[in-house]
Structure 1
Amino acid sequence: MEHQNLAAKLHKLTRLMTALSEHRWASDGYTAIKMGHLQALIKLAEADFNNNQLAACADMTKQSMNRLTNELLQLGYIVSAEEQSTDARIKILTLSDKGKKFITYLNTISYELEKKLGHVLGINKFDEFNGTLDNLLDFVEGRFKNI
């Protein structure tokens, strides 16, 4: 295996994990779900939001989030209702039963993945690796907020 810098390794790991995840989801019947959909689905599992709130949470443009939520609406993973506000265009988004089922499935396979990675690395190394990733994310997110 060729030696790569840290950024290249993280990028490669992310691409491979994304591809493997999407393949697993498709083989388990969730053929239309892509990694990009998770930002909205996971946030909507916590509470109901409108598109603008979701975009802010995900640090995305409103247009990008609108495209993503429209896909999820068409696929039946989320539903919307008009919000009681002065702007009738604002709709509250919530998970549908199909979306809730996917989130339950996602939690199950996420647990399975962590068990598998714990087996590959050993539980102590996995816990250390997970903590190190948290530290790196905190550091990078802090730097990102300052630009």
Structure 2
Amino acid sequence: MDIRKIDDNLSVAPQIAVEDVADIARLGFRTLVANRPDHEEPGQPAMADIEAAAAEHGLEWVYMPVASGNISDDDVARFAPMIRDADKPVLAFCRSGTRCTVLWALSSAQEQQPEDILSRARNAGYDLTGLIPRLLEQAGKR
């Protein structure tokens, strides 16, 4: 399992397995967020199985699927309050962790400076420089 910390409230990860959920709970996460649609690729674990494991281990479960490469402003608008209101810390996962990081970055742009967002993402191993125009657009909504 490859967990990458974005900030004190949010970490992201590539696809997790059902067996990982116990470790996620032991690590102190309180909420598990799936940003990957079921059946995105053959062989990925069923979200219902991960949800059941999350419930078994006392984790809040949020299923917020977003199509890869197609993050809309509506997706961003749903992500921000979900993270704000979730029991923290939160672990969000998708295929590679990038989608979760992009959702966080765009939803944070109205409150944080783009340079800080890019730095946090880079420190977690995600290069979001291609997102700069969209970050600036979101920042303009402050």
Which category of TM-score, normalised to the shorter sequence, fits these structures?
A: under 0.3
Q: By percentage of residues, which structure has more helix?
A: 1
Bigger radius of gyration = 1
Q: By percentage of residues, which structure has more strand?
A: 2
Q: 1 or 2 for the larger relative contact order (CA 8 Å, sep ≥6)?
A: 2
